[in-house]
Structure 1
Amino acid sequence: MLARGDPGAIGPARAPAQVSVILPVHDAEPWLDECLGSVLQQDFEGSMELSIFNDASKDKSMTIIEKWKKKLEDSGILVVIGGHDSPSPRGVGYSKNQAVAQSSGSYLCFLDADDVMMPQRVRLQHEAALRHPESIIGCQVTREPPNSTERYMRWINQLAPDQLLTQGVPEDLLFFYEHLRKGGGVVRVDQSLLLYRYHPGAATHSVLETTIWAHRVRFLEEQALPHWATFTIWNAGRQGRRLYRSLTAGSQRKVAAFCDVDENKIRKGFYCYEDSQERPKPRIPVLHFRAARPPFVICVKLDLTGGVFEDNLRSLNLQEGRDFLHFS
């Protein structure tokens, strides 16, 4: 949840709601009944509206929406419906923007059509938003099915408050980064307030990994690397080398070393970037992590080594955000 940032985006003239639930919909027939039922079950006592934008659904989504519209409005929740019936959908980002534009709430609560809110979600996140008006308000989540993406679920639910800024990368990456660029914060309600479904048709799968990578590199170069004269890439393997190759020439020149625990990589002694335009081509030392100097950009995935990597990192007594950042 977040406070509306653009007062000009209020939409049609009417008494504004305190909270607008923003719901983009595209072919969501299998999940919509449960999703809309969870809106009806909210225990929030303030004024609330549901802003739906139908992105060219070809199934029975609109039939389900019309059925729930009366139930919701009878309970005091205004329902605003927009959409289009073009041959092809225009995407979840477009749909969210349209749903926001037609909404009136002072606070926006984003909901995907395949997810389910716990009854206290709007109330607790609204209370947190009032206490932290410059912050995005998140929450812990429960995954459905329960055994899917276990590492991701442990990571997202166990981030410490300061790690919400240094590691938190939600699905709406560009919005999140722009919020941080403008000095916004991130706060989490430490209760599971959302049932988050994992299935092959989820919008998350439509975002190219290369696109996400490119935006993350750009943000790293904007926000962290200007503060460091030099840094070490922790991982001399494929991911670490990929990060090095993705950096601008200026950032590449700041890479003092790679570090690793793999004796074969360390024994080789250096990494040579063959595609570099510089002459002579850079030969970056490869060191054992205990011989390397911070700050580090860490390209090692968490929760994959039985705790060995995490123990190695803790043994250096470093401060996240100052001495190292995670990039995996």
Structure 2
Amino acid sequence: MCDVSVILPVYNAGKWLNECLESVFQQVFKGTLELSVYDDGSQDNSLAILEDWKDKLKNKQIKCCLLKGETSTPKGVGYARNRAVEKSSGRFLCFLDADDVMAKERIQVQYDAAQEHPEALIGSGFHREPPGSTQRYTQWANTRTEEQLVNQIYTSHGPTIAMPTWFCSRKQFDNVGGFSEKGKGIPEDLIFFYKHLDLSGQVTRVNADLMKYRYHPECTTFSISEDTIWDLRLERFECKILAHWSHLTIWNAGKKGRKFYRSLTPENKKKVIAFCDVDVKKIQKGIYIYEESKEVPKPRIPIIHFRKAKPPIVLCMKMDLTGGNFEENLASLKLKENIDYHYFS
């Protein structure tokens, strides 16, 4: 058994793989390290690159376990990660994607953090390549407080710590049961993240930039439907939050707020007492009529100014899009996050 296993799923990653593996080789880590790779049916030169690196890594006392899928049909990143974990021996697991690059101190810094937080899923700061990609997401992910890492888990951004920066004990991974293996289009990281929280797992982040996180058209993110993620978030939100509320106000009388209302179960729709907004035209309209409803008469929901909103409130607003106006308006109400309001943006 070694101290840390780097878990690396690979699929047609030849254009990035040398830089990724170089970052494994350059790690400054005091413990024992291994690299466990599962190639999920690559058709490019990924396998050849991996074979070339085995001896080089071995010369630095980094064991390399290389597995190849039995078919040329990829089974998905969740399947690949699970197979790589199964063949690894580390007490801790460091997750890495083949198109990303680690800072040389990443493993040591997160390993040290894991000694203090043995039951945590540990993330880190990151920067995007090319620079400026997904600027709002990057800013959000790198600046959440410890409380927000647990409170803001229902936004469209997904897990509050970026998956390629994850580090955890093998025990925590086994407690969750690994990643979903349903294949392409499944947000296996979000499913794992929610299960981890359900098992009283902790979430923390090392506040250091330890990862070059690439953004490109071949990212796994683009294979996942927004509707799939929406449905997963909503199911959990209704179960964990709305089930305990007798009423709620939806902040946003526009497209996203109305979509949230229409997506609710009939029971939770009846809990909505108002939409709130700052748009004068929407407020003057006064009422949102749920035309698609089969009820007679059709539900009519008041639209009010945000200052008249009665908590608890569901914020169906995207952050950092109004030059700070939304955030200032919210702060002016002096409400408490996770008590008086939740984000579902």
Structure 2 partner of 1:27: 12
Equivalent position SS for 1:123: helix
**Does the residue aligned with 1:126 lie in a helix, a strand or coil?**
helix
TM-score (norm 2): 0.88
1:68 and 2:53 are equivalent in the alignment = yes
Q: How far apart, in 2, do the equivalents of 1:58 and 1:280 lie?
A: 59
The alpha carbon displacement at 1:277 in A equals 3.6
Q: Which residue of 2 aligns with 1:300?
A: 317
Identity %: 53
Q: Is the 8 A contact 2:36 2:65 kept in 1?
A: yes
Q: Which runs of 5+ in 2 are unaligned?
A: 164-188
Equivalent residue pairs, number: 313
Give 5+ residue unaligned stretches, structure 1.
1-15
Residue 32 of structure 2 is matched in structure 1 by 47
Partners of 1:99 and 1:253 in 2: CA distance: 47
Q: Is the 8 A contact 2:6 2:94 kept in 1?
A: yes
Q: In the TM superposition, what is the alpha-carbon distance from 1:310 to its structure 2 partner?
A: 0.6
> Aligned residue for 2:108?
123
Alignment of structure 1 residues 1-328 onto 2, 5 Å = 16-168=1-153, 169-170=158-159, 172-328=189-345
Task: Report the alpha carbon displacement of residue 85 of structure 1 after superposing the two structures with TM.
Answer: 4.9
Tell me how far 1:276 sits from its aligned partner.
2.4
1:278 deviates by 3.3
String of CA shifts for 1:281-320, please: whole Å, max 9, x gaps.
2111111100111111111111110100010011111111
In 2, the alpha carbon distance for the partners of 1:311 and 1:42 equals 43
Residue aligned with 2:29, SS: coil
* Alpha-carbon distance, 1:161 to partner: 1.2
The match for 1:7 is none
TM-score, with normalisation over the residues of structure 1?
0.93
| Alignment check: 8 A CA contact 1:232 1:255 kept | yes
- 1:109 and 1:222 map into 2 onto residues whose CA distance is 31
CA deviation digits over 1:72-125, x for unaligned, max 9?
111111111112152321111111111112211111111000000001111111
The residue that corresponds to 2:169 in the other structure is none
* 8 Å Cα contact 2:10/2:38 also seen in 1: yes
Residues 230 and 256 of structure 1 are in contact (CA less than 8 Å); yes or no, is this contact kept in structure 2? Answer: yes
